[in-house]
A and B are shown apart, each in its own frame.
Chain A
Amino acid sequence: MKQILAITGMNIRTILQRSGASIVIIVGIAGSVAVMVSLLAMAEGLNKTISSTGQDDRALIFREGSNSELSSGIAMTDLAIIENTQGIKKSEDGPMIAAEIFTIIDVKKKGAADTSNLPLRGVQEMSFKIRPELKIIEGVNFFPGRGEVIVGKGAASEFEGLEIGKPIKIRDSEWTVVGIFSTGGDVHESEVWADLAVIQGAFRRGASASIAIVQMEKNASITDFAATLELDPRLNLKVQGEADFYLEQSSGASAVIQVFGYTVAIIMAIGAVFAALNTMYSAVSTRLVEIGTLRAVGFHGSSVLFALMIESMFLALLGGLLGAGLSYLIFNGYTVSTLASVSFTQTAFDFAVTGKIIGQGLILALIVGFLGGLLPARRAATQEITEALRAI
């Protein structure tokens, strides 16, 4: 043990003298770790945005068979039946239920040549009571009945011209952006909201909406509420807990990025192993005499092996920290938007470099350091002493 420490100490003190070769290991590994951490942070950010949406005590009501807000449709007349169901919380303005339309408008993303799918939600006054997390952070709320919209802050930062006072083309007419809102970082920040009745008119939807959202009473069971509605012969509906609905979506959304991230990182890591092997082989060969001398004065082969492995993994760890650090500095909190698979609309999200992801990056670095150090260290440890010393 003492021997290992002695050699390791010496090796590490001399790293600076061999800085050229050592930098190869560090940079090679930093590159792979940075790519992996960045891509995983992207997947994580998307995941977090979607899965943080929704509350356990709220339920969404779809048409039977629908799996998304976009494909769902319910008649406004159904609402009158639903609102008398047991479990819905009552406020001074009546039962807490709101019908909402979810549809798509085509707007250009900043700097894009073609348009992207921006989600547009038509809401009722009760929608704001059911979702108290929504805060107008700039401007004012839309005035019911007018062609005015409020824009989520994610959408505002990603799309062109979504600024207060600016016109937005919806169908054949121009509406006005009057406010920017925040919902604490969930998917609704990627949406544009307007008055349900105005949207029903503009989109020729008549007396229908896409979904309804319900605030449940304290302790009321969504399962019971769902059973009552789904068994009602007058209705063809499906009920799902709001948090549940978004959790289900989040798993698929980021899987592709995650798989891609791991794949590219592993391929890059293989390249980094070759680079590390190269560095360590040359580190060993330039120190052959040194190592031979150590062995000659009584240091064990295994101490030499361990010390070299520690050196290689130490360099790898430095590389891993450098890569993860870079990716944290550049990407943490960086906002982008992508096409979400279920809603077919743009969802804005922030990269999230979490401790877990950095941990994975460092593990990758250590594996590369281990693989890159093992063979050269073994060669040094098993080298014939006389052979090694002959090099003088």
Chain B
Amino acid sequence: MKYWMLISAALKRKQTRTVLTICSITVAFVLFGTLRSIAVAFTEDVDFSGDDRLVVMSKLSFIEPLPMAYHQRIQSVEGVDLVAHREWFGGTYIDVNNFFPKWPVNAEVWFDVYPEFIISEQEKRDFVNTRTGMVAGKAIAEKYNWKVGDKIPIMGDIWVKEDGSILWEFDLVGIFSQEEGSGVYGGDQQAFINHSYFEESRMWGKGTVGNYVVKVKNKEDNERIAKEIDKMFANSSDETKTSTEAAFSKMFAEQVGDIGLIMNSILAAVFFTMLLVTGNTMSQAVRERTPELAVFKTIGYSDSKILCLVLVEAMFMCFLGMAIGIAISFIVFLFLEEDLAAFIDGISFQPSVILWAFATALVMALIAGLPPALGAMRLKVVDALRKD
């Protein structure tokens, strides 16, 4: 503890400088916490067992439909609990800029496959029993001021009705919210449509669906079930590609580009800059104290103790800046999480980032603090005092 007094005295010597240095380190770690969390969401390997839902899509590309007849065959695979299907509706609500995903789904099982969506039993029943039924996510319903009972007109861009009209009218029968923090695919920024009216009215594509969502009984069986499904349809005219839902939702994110590389390049620029700033501050602080350090040595402080004193001072600044910076980025995510979830699933503050931040702060303190610390250690008492 007696050393703590020395370190705190050193830090307080030029308070403005200490505070400013800690502030710049803080800014660096705000960016670190935020950008690494985003990068991790885009790049981390998908754990095949971390999810009890699989998505079966066409092997050709995501816009290719799959036959509805696959439903029964997928259901018959051992270990499969429920099979849901959905289709991309597209379409425009009043204005092109009012974009949100709309999915015709099989209403009977949809909310059992996705228990993260919270909806009342009554609304769930209405959704199943209303052929023109639509349920909207809370965010969407609030944005457009929809109430249960409203008629929602959508102009189809892909889907045309059999009579040649592109105006689809759906009845809003329910509003669902999402379980807090579940990060479920699409969240409450989407709407689901009862498949029956859509199926009987559309001009083409009858008997097909966009993709299947399969809920498995036991997620340890994910890999086996995925392989079995793909094998079952291999060499047919509609081959499939089955992956976990997490992998499926990352498919688009990865296509946006090498997000991880961009984030890491920015961070490299940030930390190169910060290293220089901290390194410079440390060497300045040590230079100014040369006579003091010489006095310490004269009264018997060993070389290694001097080295430690200076290093600990650097570490104190780096770790304090790191802690504040990471805390700020955590708070940023608390506020932004829902907005970011609209872009890609699973963007959230990553606890693993804290570990990396610790390591980075340590390395930073060593690189910035070691040269001046070594300089201080090698100081010759006579030379140092002469400078006075």
Contact = CB atoms under 8 A, between A and B. Distances in A.
Contact of B164 (A70, A236, A271, A344): A236
Nearest to B58: A106
A63 B270 CA distance: 49
A28 B280 CA distance: 12
Contacts of A35: 266, 269-270
B96 interface: yes
A28 B28 CA distance: 11
Interface stretch (A272-280, A289-297, A384-392): A272-280
A106 B60 contact: yes
Contact of B24 (A72, A103, A171, A278): A278
Contacts of B96: 67
Contacts of B62: 104, 117
Contacts of A105: 60-61
A65 B284 CA distance: 67
Contact of B157 (A28, A66, A264): A66
B78 to A, nearest CB: 28
Task: Among A31, A68, A114, find the residue whose CB has the most chain B CB atoms closer than 10 A.
Answer: A31
Interface in B249-298: 251-252, 254-257, 266, 269-270, 272-274, 276-277, 280-281, 283-284
Contacts of A24: 276-277, 280
B39 interface: no
B125 interface: no
B60 A23 contact: no
A126 interface: no
A206 to B, nearest CB: 10
A248 to B, nearest CB: 9
A387 to B, nearest CB: 17
Given A67-B96, A68-B157, A281 B20 contact: yes
B166 interface: yes
Contacts of A336: 257
B177 to A, nearest CB: 26
B327 interface: no
A351 to B, nearest CB: 12
A112 B257 CA distance: 10
Given A65-B156, A71-B157, A117 B255 contact: yes
Interface in B125-175: 155-158, 160, 164, 166
Contacts of A65: 91-92, 155-157, 160, 166
Given A23-B276, A104-B63, A117-B61, A264 B31 contact: yes
A339 B273 contact: no
A271 B17 contact: no
A64 B166 contact: yes
A27 interface: yes
Interface string A15-36: 0000011011001101110110
A30 B277 CA distance: 13
A302 B228 CA distance: 81
Contacts of A157: none
B270 to A, nearest CB: 6
Interface in B18-42: 20-21, 23-24, 27-28, 30-31, 35
A31 B17 contact: no
A337 B91 CA distance: 27
B120 interface: no
A271 B255 contact: no
Given A236-B166, A278-B281, A103 B63 contact: yes
Interface in A264-314: 264, 267-268, 270-272, 274-275, 277-279, 281-282
A354 interface: no
A30 B272 CA distance: 11
Given A23-B276, A236-B166, A268 B31 contact: yes
A274 B27 contact: yes
A116 interface: yes
26 contacts: A20-B283, A20-B284, A21-B280, A23-B276, A31-B270, A31-B273, A35-B269, A63-B157, A65-B91, A65-B92, A67-B92, A106-B60, A106-B61, A112-B254, A114-B254, A117-B62, A267-B30, A268-B31, A268-B269, A271-B23, A271-B270, A271-B274, A274-B23, A278-B21, A282-B17, A339-B257
Interface of B: 16-17, 20-21, 23-24, 27-28, 30-31, 35, 60-63, 90-92, 96, 155-158, 160, 164, 166, 251-252, 254-257, 266, 269-270, 272-274, 276-277, 280-281, 283-284
Given A20-B284, A337-B257, A339-B252, 9 more contacts: A24-B276, A103-B61, A104-B61, A104-B63, A264-B35, A271-B274, A278-B17, A278-B281, A282-B17
- What 9 pairs between A and B have smallest CB-CB spacing? A271-B27, A31-B273, A274-B24, A65-B166, A339-B255, A274-B23, A71-B157, A71-B158, A275-B277
